[in-house]
Amino acid sequence: DIQMTQSPPSLSASVGDRVTITCQASQDINKNLNWYQQKPGKAPELLIYDASNLEKGVPSRFSGSGSGTDFTLTISSLQPEDVGTYHCQQSDKSPYTFGQGTKVEIK
């Protein structure tokens, strides 16, 4: 199975800060990487697919980049409503595996 490693496990940042979360795959997954946001007590929601494509309705302060084994999710200006846990997921090979998540809080 492909292992997905996210870092950091958690972070605390101020409103307006630029936030970066990384995700590393244990083997080359091309651009087959998706990002989800999970607000407390809610189901995950798709943010970005195929490494860099913004899902409809997602604010433009979110962006994704990377290919191969190394990927990044960036929030250009953190907002209070961005609090939650962010998960990466590889869609290259079954079983489709997720990272352990990055919890984002407001300082």
Q: At closest approach, how far in Å is the CB of 101 from other proteins?
A: 5
Contacts of 73 (CB under 8 A, 6+ apart): 20, 21, 22, 23, 35, 47, 48, 62, 63, 64, 86, 88
Footprint of other proteins on this chain (CB under 8 A)?
1, 32, 34, 36, 43-46, 49-50, 55, 87, 89, 91-92, 94-101
Nearer to other proteins, 17 or 54 (CB): 54
9 token code pair: 């496990």
Nearer to other proteins, 60 or 94 (CB): 94
Q: At closest approach, how far in Å is the CB of 36 from other proteins?
A: 8
Nearer to other proteins, 15 or 50 (CB): 50
What Å distances lie between residue 39 and 11, 26, 67, 69, 92, CA to CA?
15, 27, 26, 26, 26
Q: At closest approach, how far in Å is the CB of 25 from other proteins?
A: 14
